């Protein structure tokens, strides 16, 4: 665990912040290159990426606060202080708000909606792959206790150590990172074939929803499961988490949207 990688003078370079910056720069480069094939100038894609990044941070913080309101009853101002502490962001909320802002921007610009979304969505998967490595170094978003051989122990002074001590826990951050890499490779491979507009985006929704649903079973949670469902698929806790419920919605949406876009494309081609 290395929350502070190094210092430039007296300025500490945070591992999560650095990985977030790297993922943003590489994601913008990938999205810009793919969008150029649609005739969208690179500077336009960069502008959109800045808004999406802002939306991702706000959405991540908002979703975390909503699911952890008990932490802010005594200090409401702490809601906006997302930079304090080792964690306080929920990536799923950031992905959802970022997609909403992205869709609104694309519609406003009048760009080819589904083709452009297909072009930029792999950057989300790239971001998951890189930023989750930052989570591991930072010690946030950690896993539950495990006896398997790939379990890891975090040092004294870290948040995982304050919960589990020196016990081995799942490296859930690295599981999520690997999931993001697999999604990225699958999207880029699928995009080599001729697909209907919106296919890559629909595929992302389903793959991300499925991997996020499964990853939840290995993560530690400091709040109760959702009251809407009283069971867990793998029986590791008393109920589904909020993230799992949303993930199921994303999987369902991927099928519904994919079918609708497929028949829409078939109808326009006939």
pTM above 0.95, yes or no: no
Q: What is the pLDDT of residues 7-57, one digit of tens each?
A: 777 777 778 888 888 999 999 999 999 999 999 999 999 999 999 988 988
The set of long-range contacts for 181-188, using a CB threshold of 8 Å and a minimum separation of 24, is 181/125, 181/129, 182/207, 182/211, 183/125, 183/128, 183/207, 183/208, 183/211, 184/122, 184/125, 184/126, 184/129, 187/121, 187/122, 187/125, 188/122
Q: What is the pLDDT of residues 191-247, one digit of tens each?
A: 999 899 999 999 999 999 999 999 988 988 755 555 544 444 444 455 677 788 889
């Amino acid at each position: 665990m290395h929350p502070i990688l190094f210092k430039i003078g007296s300025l500490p370079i945070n591992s999560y912040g650095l990985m977030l910056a790297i993922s943003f720069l590489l994601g913008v480069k990938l999205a810009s290159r793919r969008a150029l094939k649609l005739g969208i100038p690179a500077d336009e894609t960069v502008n959109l990426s800045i808004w999406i990044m802002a939306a991702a941070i706000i959405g991540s913080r908002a979703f975390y606060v909503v699911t952890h309101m008990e932490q802010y009853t005594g200090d409401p101002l702490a809601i906006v202080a997302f930079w304090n502490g080792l964690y306080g962001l929920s990536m799923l909320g950031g992905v959802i708000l970022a997609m909403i802002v992205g869709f609104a921007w694309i519609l406003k610009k009048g760009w080819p909606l589904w083709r452009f979304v297909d072009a930029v969505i792999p950057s989300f998967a790239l971001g998951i792959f890189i930023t989750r490595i930052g989570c591991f170094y930072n010690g946030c978003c950690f896993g539950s206790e495990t006896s398997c051989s790939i379990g890891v122990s975090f040092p004294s002074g870290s948040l995982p150590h304050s919960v589990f001590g020196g016990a081995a826990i799942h490296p859930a951050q690295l599981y999520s990172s690997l999931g993001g890499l697999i999604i990225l490779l699958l999207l880029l491979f699928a995009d080599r074939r001729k697909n209907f507009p919106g296919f890559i985006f629909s595929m992302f929704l389903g793959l991300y929803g499925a991997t996020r649903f499964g990853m939840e079973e290995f993560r530690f949670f400091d709040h109760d499961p959702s009251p809407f469902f009283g069971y867990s698929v793998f029986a590791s806790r008393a109920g589904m988490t909020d993230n799992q419920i949303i993930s199921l919605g994303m999987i369902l949406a991927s099928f519904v949207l994919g079918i609708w876009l497929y028949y829409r494309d078939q109808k326009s081609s006939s």
